[in-house]
Chain A
Amino acid sequence: METTLNQRPVSLQIRGLTRRFGGLTAVDRFDVDVNEGEIVSLVGPNGAGKTTVFNLISGVLRPTGGSIMLQGQELVGRPAHRITHFGVARTFQNIRVFPQLTVRENVLLGTHHWTRSGVLGSVTFWPGTIRAERAAQAEVENAIALFRERLEPRLEDPAFALSYANRRRTEIARALAARPKLLLLDEPAAGMNPYERIEMAGLIRSMRDRGLTIFLIEHHMPLVMEISDRVIVMDHGVKIAEGLPKEVRTNPRVVEAYLGRRAASA
C-alpha cells in the first residue's frame, strides 16, 4: 500500500476523475489522496464541482472517466448501495433525513447495510433477527453518544419536527451508525450559529480521533483553516491548489479564484 511522507496509509485515492454533463465538464481529471485518520477539506467557489465529486465517490452519479479506490478497492461502476458496504458514508448539502422516521429510526437506517434480518425473521422472532436488532440498537447508542445532550431527548420524535442543526446532527449520527471508514461531510456547518459551529468543529475532531477518515466540503473558511490537516481548492472542476491550510490561504491562484484576477495581483 502506498504511503506518504507522514507514513499514514492512503485511504481514498482518486485518479483522473472526470464527469461531464452534456457539454459542461463539471469535474475534470481530478486527483486526490486522503490518508487514513486525516481531515481533508475540499473548498472552492460556488459551482466549482465539489458536491459532484462527493456524488461521484458515493455512487449517486457515475463518472465519465477515472478511478476511485478506497483502501485498494475500486468503487467506480458499483451501485450506490454497494459502495456503503465498502465503508463510505456521507451527509448531504441539503439535509436528507427521513422526515417521517423518528431520530432513532433514522440512525437505525445507518445500520441497515451491516445487519441481516428479513421479513420472515421479524415476524417469527428468529434469534438471528433479534440479535441483529439488538446490535443495531446498541450502535445507535454508540453513534448518538457524540450528540448526547442534543439528540437524546429527541430520540423518539419524528425528524421533521427537529431544528435545522439537529437534523444535521441526526444525519451525521446516521452516517456514523453505518460504521464507515471514510466519512464524506457536505457543508456540515452550513446555516449554523457560531456556538453550533464551534461545537461542530470539536465534533469533527473527535470523530477523527475515533479513527475515522474525514473528507469534507465547507464554505466557512475559519472552520476549514482550524480543523483541516490538508486543504484542496477546486475551481471550474479543476484542482487549483493543495496543501496545508496556511499554504493554501496565500496561494495566488486561490485568491484569484475567490476574488478575481485584480485582487490576486494587488
Chain B
Amino acid sequence: MSALPAPGSQESAPPPRRFWESGPASWNRTLTSRRVMIPFFLVALAVPLVLQWVEDNSSWIGAQYWTLILATCAMYACLAVALNLVVGYAGLLNLGFIAFFGIGSYAYALVASDQIHQRYPLWAALLVVIAVTLAFALLVGVPALRLRGDYLAIVTLGFGLIMRDLILDLDRPPVLAGHQFGPDTLNITGGTNGIHQVQPFSLPTSLPLLGPVPHYRMYYWIFVGFLALCIYCMLRWRNTRTGRAWVAIRDDELAARAMGVNTFKYRLLAFSLSAVMAGIVGMINAAQIFNAFPSPNFDVQTTVMVFIMVILGGLGSIPGAILGAIAFTVPPFLLQQFVFYKYLVISLVLIAVMIYRPEGLLGTVSIRPRQTMGGTLELITAEAAIEASELPPVTDAEPSDLEEATGAIVEDPEWKQP
C-alpha cells in the first residue's frame, strides 16, 4: 500500500482510561478476565464458611438460612447463564426454556427414588439426565428451529405449556381415542404431588480440613461449582469457532451462511447445549430438595423470571446474568415485609431499564420489534435496527413471497421497483 493520508484520524480516539467510562463491551471483558473470575469464585466458595464463623462467634443466627438463599441465587445464575447461551449468543427466543429444567429434575427423580424403583449411581443418573434433556431438545429443536423470531418463541412457549400438562397428567395411564395405555396403577410423575423422597447425591458428609459438611452447604458448593463450569465453557466457546458462529448468526444470518456457517446445525447446537445445562441444574435442584414438583419447575412465571434476569443484566453478558440473578433472588428475602409489592417493584425496575438502557446493564444487544417483517420481534443489534428502519415495510407482500422477500428485497434493493 502506498503512503496515503489517513482519513480516519477521528476514528482513533484515545481509549477511555477509567473503568466505568469504557462501555459495556470493555466491562464484560474486564469482568470475565481470569483475574476477576477466579477471586470471585474463591470468595463465593468461602462465603458459607464465613457465615458459619460469624454465627459461631456472635449472637446472630442465620448461616443456614443465608446459605440456602445464596444456593437459590447460584441456581438462578446457572439458569441465566444457560439461557444466555441460547438467547444472548445464538439469538433464539426460547420461551420454553424452563421446561428443560423441569425435565432434568424429573428425569433424575425417576431414576433416584421409589417412583419406578430405580436408584442409579450418580454418574449413571447424570448420563440419563443428559440423554433425556437432549432427546427432548432435539424433538422440539429439529422442527422448531426452522422458524425465526417470535414464531419460534410461540412454538417453544407451547412446548413449555404442553410439558407442564404432561407432567400433571402422567400420574395415571394416558388415554388416547378411548384406548388406555398401560395398567390402571401406572403413575410416572405423581401428578400435582410430584415425586418425593428423591435420594441426594452420594457424596462424602465430611471433607478433610473442613470437617463435617452439612447438606445445604454441600449443595451451595455444587451449584457454585456448576456455575463456574458453565461460565468457563461459555467463555471458551465465545472465544473459539463455535461461539463466533453463534454470534455471527445472531448478528446477520445471511452473511453467516455466505461464510459457510451451517446455520441450522449451530442453532440446534446452542438450543441443545442450553437445554442440557438447564437439565443438569434441575437434577441438582431435585437432589437438593429431595423432591421434583411441577409448580416451580414448569411455571411460565419461572421462565419469565429467568428472562428478566438475563435481560436486566444484558443479553450475551455473563457477569450481567450473575448480577441479574442476585438482583432478583436476594432482595425478596431481605424485604420480606414488602413481599406483596414484589412484582410491582420488579415491573417498575424493568420499565426503567427498558427506557434508559434497553440493552440491559452490561449488554450490547437489545430486543426490538423489527419494522420490515410486519413487526416481527427478534433480537436485533442497534446497528441493524437503524438499517431495518430505513428499509420499506413489506407487510403488503404476497405470503408466498415472504421467504423470497428476506432474500430478494432486504438483500437486493434493486427489486424494490417492480
Contact B259 A160 (CB under 8 A): no
Contact A160 B411 (CB under 8 A): no
Contact B261 A97 (CB under 8 A): no
> Which residue of B is nearest A99, CB measured?
B383
B 191-230 to A, binary, CB cutoff 8 A, 1 in contact else 0: 0000000000000000000000000000000000000000
Neighbouring A residues of B401 by C-beta, 8 Å: 21-22
Neighbouring A residues of B411 by C-beta, 8 Å: 51, 55, 60, 92, 94
Contact B408 A21 (CB under 8 A): yes
* Total A residues in contact with B, Cβ cutoff 8 Å: 72
Contact B365 A92 (CB under 8 A): no
Q: B232 contacts the other chain (Cβ, under 8 Å)? A: yes
Interface centre among B244, B247, B252, by most chain A C-beta atoms within 10 angstroms, is B244
A119 and B7 in contact (CB under 8 A), knowing A55-B411, A81-B260, A96-B252? no
Contact B4 A58 (CB under 8 A): no
Contact A81 B237 (CB under 8 A): no
| A10-18, A100-108, A242-250, A254-262 - the one binding chain B | A100-108
Q: A71 contacts the other chain (Cβ, under 8 Å)? A: no
Q: B184 contacts the other chain (Cβ, under 8 Å)? A: no
CA distance A132 to B2 in the complex (A): 33
Q: B178 contacts the other chain (Cβ, under 8 Å)? A: no
Which residues 394-418 of B sit at the A interface, judged by CB distance below 8 A? 398, 401, 404, 407-408, 411-415, 417-418
Contact A178 B259 (CB under 8 A): yes
A166 and B259 in contact (CB under 8 A), knowing A96-B254, A112-B241? no
Contact B412 A51 (CB under 8 A): yes
CA distance A48 to B415 in the complex (A): 10
CB proximity of B382 to chain A, nearest CB, Å: 7
Contact A199 B4 (CB under 8 A): yes
| A1-9, A30-38, A147-155, A220-228 - the one binding chain B | A147-155
Neighbouring A residues of B252 by C-beta, 8 Å: 96-99
CA distance A161 to B25 in the complex (A): 12
Contact B254 A60 (CB under 8 A): yes
CA distance A61 to B5 in the complex (A): 40
Which residues 75-120 of A sit at the B interface, judged by CB distance below 8 A? 79-82, 84-85, 89-90, 92-94, 96-101, 105, 108-113, 115, 117-119
Which residues 133-181 of A sit at the B interface, judged by CB distance below 8 A? 133, 136, 146-150, 153-154, 158, 160-163, 165-166, 174, 178
A123 and B236 in contact (CB under 8 A), knowing A21-B404, A162-B11? yes
Q: B14 contacts the other chain (Cβ, under 8 Å)? A: no
Contact A55 B237 (CB under 8 A): no
Contact B258 A21 (CB under 8 A): no
> Which residue of B is nearest A122, CB measured?
B240
Which residues 24-67 of A sit at the B interface, judged by CB distance below 8 A? 24, 26, 46-52, 55, 58-61
CA distance A121 to B239 in the complex (A): 12
Cross-chain contact of B258 among A50, A84, A162 (Cβ < 8 A): A84
Q: B233 contacts the other chain (Cβ, under 8 Å)? A: yes
CA distance A149 to B7 in the complex (A): 11
Q: B269 contacts the other chain (Cβ, under 8 Å)? A: yes
CB proximity of B82 to chain A, nearest CB, Å: 14
CB proximity of A128 to chain B, nearest CB, Å: 11
Contact A99 B240 (CB under 8 A): no
> Which residue of A is nearest B245, CB measured?
A112
Neighbouring B residues of A154 by C-beta, 8 Å: 11
Which residues 377-393 of B sit at the A interface, judged by CB distance below 8 A? 381-384, 387
A55 and B5 in contact (CB under 8 A), knowing A84-B260, A153-B12? no
Q: B52 contacts the other chain (Cβ, under 8 Å)? A: no
Contact B1 A109 (CB under 8 A): no
CB proximity of B399 to chain A, nearest CB, Å: 13
B 254-289 to A, binary, CB cutoff 8 A, 1 in contact else 0: 111111111100000100010000000000000000
CA distance A100 to B244 in the complex (A): 10
Cross-chain contact of B1 among A93, A149, A163 (Cβ < 8 A): A149
Cross-chain contact of B244 among A85, A108, A165 (Cβ < 8 A): A108
CA distance A22 to B233 in the complex (A): 48
CA distance A92 to B255 in the complex (A): 8
Contact A105 B244 (CB under 8 A): yes
CB proximity of B373 to chain A, nearest CB, Å: 17
Contact A100 B414 (CB under 8 A): no
Q: A193 contacts the other chain (Cβ, under 8 Å)? A: yes
Cross-chain contact of B241 among A47, A92, A93, A122 (Cβ < 8 A): A122
CA distance A48 to B242 in the complex (A): 38
Contact B408 A61 (CB under 8 A): yes
Contact B408 A101 (CB under 8 A): no
CA distance A81 to B256 in the complex (A): 8
B 1-36 to A, binary, CB cutoff 8 A, 1 in contact else 0: 110111110011000000000000100000000000
CA distance A136 to B242 in the complex (A): 13
Neighbouring A residues of B383 by C-beta, 8 Å: 99, 160
Neighbouring B residues of A79 by C-beta, 8 Å: 257, 262
CA distance A105 to B255 in the complex (A): 14
CB proximity of A149 to chain B, nearest CB, Å: 6
Neighbouring A residues of B240 by C-beta, 8 Å: 117, 121-122, 129, 133
CA distance A26 to B412 in the complex (A): 12
A81 and B407 in contact (CB under 8 A), knowing A49-B414, A153-B12? no
Contact B247 A101 (CB under 8 A): yes
Q: B364 contacts the other chain (Cβ, under 8 Å)? A: yes
> Which residue of B is nearest A51, CB measured?
B412
A-B contact pairs, 13 of them (CB 8 A): A51-B411, A60-B254, A60-B258, A79-B262, A81-B261, A82-B260, A97-B252, A98-B247, A105-B244, A109-B245, A123-B236, A123-B237, A199-B4
Which residues of B are at the interface with A, using a C-beta cutoff of 8 A?
A: 1-2, 4-8, 11-12, 25, 232-233, 236-237, 239-242, 244-245, 247-248, 250-252, 254-263, 269, 273, 316, 364-365, 381-384, 387, 398, 401, 404, 407-408, 411-415, 417-418
Given contacts A92-B411, A96-B258, A122-B240, 14 further A-B pairs with CB under 8 A are A52-B412, A81-B257, A82-B260, A84-B259, A97-B255, A98-B251, A98-B255, A100-B251, A105-B244, A122-B236, A122-B239, A154-B11, A160-B381, A202-B2
